[in-house]
Amino acid sequence: MIYNTLAGYYDCLVKDDEATQDWVKWIGKYVSPCKTLELACGSGEITEQLSEKGYQVTALDLSAQMVEQAKAKDVEGKIEFFVQDMKDLSNFSSFDTILCLCDSFNYILSKEEISAFIKEVSEHLNENGYFLFDTHSLDRMSEFEEEWNETGIFEDGCGYQWSISSEQDWLYQDFAFYLPNGEMIQEHHLQKIYDPAWLEEELRQYFEIVSVDTDFILPGIQEGEKYFYVLRKR
Ligand SMILES: C[S@@+](CC[C@H](N)C(=O)[O-])C[C@H]1O[C@@H](n2cnc3c(N)ncnc32)[C@H](O)[C@@H]1O
- Rounded to the nearest angstrom, the distance between the alpha carbon of 108 and the centre of ligand 1 is 10
The ranges of the chain annotated as CATH 3.40.50.150 are 5-137+194-233
Q: How confident is the model at residue 145 (pLDDT cuts 50, 70, 90)?
A: very high
pLDDT score of 1: 80
The CATH homologous superfamily for domain 5-137+194-233 is Vaccinia Virus protein VP39 (3.40.50.150)
- Rounded to the nearest angstrom, the distance between the alpha carbon of 31 and the centre of ligand 1 is 22
The span from the first CA to the last CA of the chain, in angstroms, equals: 36
Residue nearest to atom 17 of ligand 1 (CA): 62
Q: Is the CB of 138 under 6 A from ligand 1?
A: no
- Rounded to the nearest angstrom, the distance between the alpha carbon of 207 and the centre of ligand 1 is 23
C-alpha angle 37-20-114 in degrees, rounded to nearest 5: 45
pLDDT score of 212: 98
pLDDT in tens, 189-230: 999 999 999 999 999 999 999 999 999 999 999 999 999 999
β-bridge partners, 172: 165, 190
The CATH T-level fold of domain 140-191 is: N-terminal domain of TfIIb (2.20.25)
The ranges of the chain annotated as CATH 2.20.25.110 are 140-191
